[in-house]
Structure 1
């Protein structure tokens, strides 16, 4: 399964860039270098038509391998079938070269190896090495069959083997390095993104706390000054209510300790603040830490309690309880004539309500997986 995280997506794009570069490099080699060699040695082959057929077959294998590689297909049967055809093309081209000209005219030796690397780029290195060894063995057999195993021929074979293997192993090493560095770059980018996001959330939370503190101060400052100079009667019901509201707001501000707020509380907070601005005295309690949940579940848990809060009269109590078994409940107790809306149908979320006189109790509960 593909990694859908930001780091995983970044790494996938990073790796895909190298895959595209590999496809382009192998295709250009086949069209440019091999095509030039094919035309240059045209008159030397036993069958020029067979040489063209081998060249076209390898070009077709490159196209198929590019599709598999760029789509991320891991079909072993298809891949190894293409490898077998590639090696068979190498055998055909080795047989098509004239005696004494194997090392000079057999361009398929290098192209078979490069095509094999393209097909097995993201497979274990031992598989790629095995294919390259078989490819080199084909040339050795061809040299032995035509009696070209002289000292000069062996030296030329070793030189060409080193040259071709250097290119092929460079591609293999590049793929591994890019895969490793791509993962590191993705992790670094994700870490920076998370740090920046966390810093933004912390700043937002701090600003919200300051706003709520200023609201409480604005609500109570005049009352406190009036109490100090004797112009405000502490027995006045309105004054007592304003003091209770400000006390509840300050208590919640002082009780908040997390820099990054709980996702569920973040949904409840705007409704609670709005009710307090209307003069509702709200007590809030949280028990336990909220477990991970989807946005849909969090919205379903907060929807009905928030709707009930809008109809609260003078006082309300909000309680969020998280059990260790993955059970979360949000309950609201309000006075007044608050209405209970129809809850959204979300799997695992149930809503219970009970009315006693002018008191309404509502609980939204989620049983996690």
Structure 2
């Protein structure tokens, strides 16, 4: 069984990218089709302090400045296409860009002749919000509202000082500003709303996926433990059955070894369910507790910081020491040497007289990868090294 592993953030990023692209397209298309065409159509309806130059150069220069600001804001959004708005105060470059945008807007409004005040030739003051929206895309909505308010006040003052404005013109000015601002704020607020809805949906999807994953993991762990319980129960059943019907001799060293190994495995399986900071150390201590109850002195030492290891790796690392402790005579010394990508469990013990050791124990690693086991003997002492390496 599998679950949808797609990162939940991807859904929110998709909406963030889509809304950003929509705003970029609206701003760019409006700036070219409306603003540039209005400048060209009304090229003779502008004033300039330099009579020797074409009057249209002033609004064209302002148009180029605004186009550059749109381009810079677009490049920033496309360079980080998956960023959702951070809703933080705008950085200094953004504020400089908004100031340049406001200056270009005032230049166009001041240079336009009075008769085109409400025509597309005087486009800047109504189009201010589109590039401002891109510049303030990652800022709180209040910053865009404040920028639109400053633009409205500045444009009203500029028009009032450069031409005669009657009550009808003043009403048209307010209504036009309100209409343009409402559309721009509506798009910006709509984008923010979609992003919030997408973020909540992504969070809900992530929670659902995590819950499903936890459920699957719990089921797999339960199945694995049931298999281990069955294996250990079968092994102990054979031992106890043999003792009950007299086919096994309690004094036989092999029977004692098998009984000690089965008891240690059962104790290890129980310890695997405990919540502890060092599961491997905890499981080895649990196995050592079984050996100590029969009089064996067990020394356990850890060198380094143990990394997080899967259960199958921990079982492979403890299997050979379990077999060694089962046949040890008086004492067993276990040392764990831990590194971030390598763990070694080394055990040394003296072997009881008549006890046979199974030196194939642990060599199969129980399905764990990167685990090796080596046995060596020196007179009565036996040394086993079990090593896990991530590489």
Do the structures match in fold with TM over 0.5? yes
CA contact (8 A) 1:117 1:171 kept: no
Q: Distance in 1 between matches of 2:24 and 2:280?
A: 49
Q: For residue 81 of structure 1, give the secondary structure of its aligned residue in structure 2.
A: helix
Q: For residue 103 of structure 1, give the secondary structure of its aligned residue in structure 2.
A: coil
Q: Distance in 2 between matches of 1:262 and 1:177?
A: 44
Gaps of 5+ in 2: 1-6, 48-54, 84-88, 291-304, 327-331, 336-342, 352-358, 360-379, 386-391
Q: CA deviation at 1:199?
A: 1.5
For 1:87, which of 86, 96, 102 is the aligned residue? 102
For 2:279, which of 247, 255, 265 is the aligned residue? 265
Change (3 A) 1:309 1:218: closer
TM-score (norm 1): 0.68
Q: CA deviation at 1:251?
A: 3.1
1:318-329 aligned at under 5 Å gives the runs none
Q: Distance in 1 between matches of 2:213 and 2:281?
A: 18
For 2:324, which of 314, 333, 339 is the aligned residue? 314
CA contact (8 A) 2:272 2:279 kept: no
Q: CA deviation at 1:202?
A: 0.9
Q: Distance in 1 between matches of 2:333 and 2:202?
A: 41
Q: Does residue 1:25 correspond to 2:26, yes or no?
A: yes
Give the structure with higher Rg (CA): 2
For 1:121, which of 137, 142, 152 is the aligned residue? 137
1:102-251 aligned at under 5 Å gives the runs 102-104=117-119, 105-251=121-267
Q: Does residue 1:52 correspond to 2:53, yes or no?
A: no
CA contact (8 A) 2:90 2:139 kept: no
Q: Distance in 2 between matches of 1:284 and 1:38?
A: 89
Indicate the structure with greater helix content.
1
Q: CA deviation at 1:211?
A: 1.8
Change (3 A) 1:268 1:110: farther
Match of 2:75 in 1: 67
Which piece of structure 1 moves more, 63-72 or 154-163?
A: 63-72
CA contact (8 A) 1:315 1:334 kept: no
Change (3 A) 1:37 1:54: same
Change (3 A) 1:235 1:361: closer
Q: For residue 121 of structure 1, give the secondary structure of its aligned residue in structure 2.
A: coil
Q: For residue 118 of structure 2, give the secondary structure of its aligned residue in structure 1.
A: helix
Q: CA deviation at 1:118?
A: 1.5
Q: For residue 335 of structure 1, give the secondary structure of its aligned residue in structure 2.
A: strand
Q: CA deviation at 1:103?
A: 1.6
CA contact (8 A) 1:117 1:128 kept: yes
Q: Distance in 2 between matches of 1:18 and 1:123?
A: 15
Change (3 A) 1:266 1:201: farther
Q: Distance in 2 between matches of 1:308 and 1:214?
A: 19
Q: Distance in 1 between matches of 2:19 and 2:129?
A: 18
Q: CA deviation at 1:265?
A: 3.1
Match of 2:349 in 1: 335
Aligned alpha-carbon RMSD (Å): 4.4
Gaps of 5+ in 1: 1-5, 273-280, 286-294, 321-328, 339-356, 363-369
Q: Distance in 1 between matches of 2:271 and 2:323?
A: 24
Q: CA deviation at 1:83?
A: 1.2
Match of 1:353 in 2: none
Which piece of structure 1 moves more, 329-338 or 145-154?
A: 329-338
